Amino acid sequence: MSRDAPSFFVEHDFWTDEEIEREAVAMSGSRRTESLWVKTRVYRPGEDRLLATMLLNQALIKDSYHAYASERAQLYID
């Protein structure tokens, strides 16, 4: 595989070669959901050369999480 080709998890071990940077880029919510958007960047080791990026939305549907109301009350003061 060429080092400049796309990386696929099944082709090699991400945890030994690339440097990974994660950033929470946005948080949002509505009456029914809460979302966290996380941007991941993969770099060649020791370089600023960007190999890949991924933007992932992690969402929680409030009604499906039985302890949502009690845990939210512990974290936030309305």
Q: Kindly report the three-state secondary structure assignment for every residue of 16-75.
A: HHCEEEEEEEEEEECCCEEEEEEEEEEECCCCCCEEEEEEEEEEEEHHHCCCHHHHHHHH
Residue 7 pLDDT: 57
The Cα 45–Cα 78 span in angstroms is 44
Q: What is the pTM of this model?
A: 0.60
Residue 24 pLDDT: 95
Instruction: Tell me the pLDDT tens digit for each residue of 20-76.
Output: 899 999 999 888 889 999 999 988 888 888 888 999 999 988 878 788 888 888 888
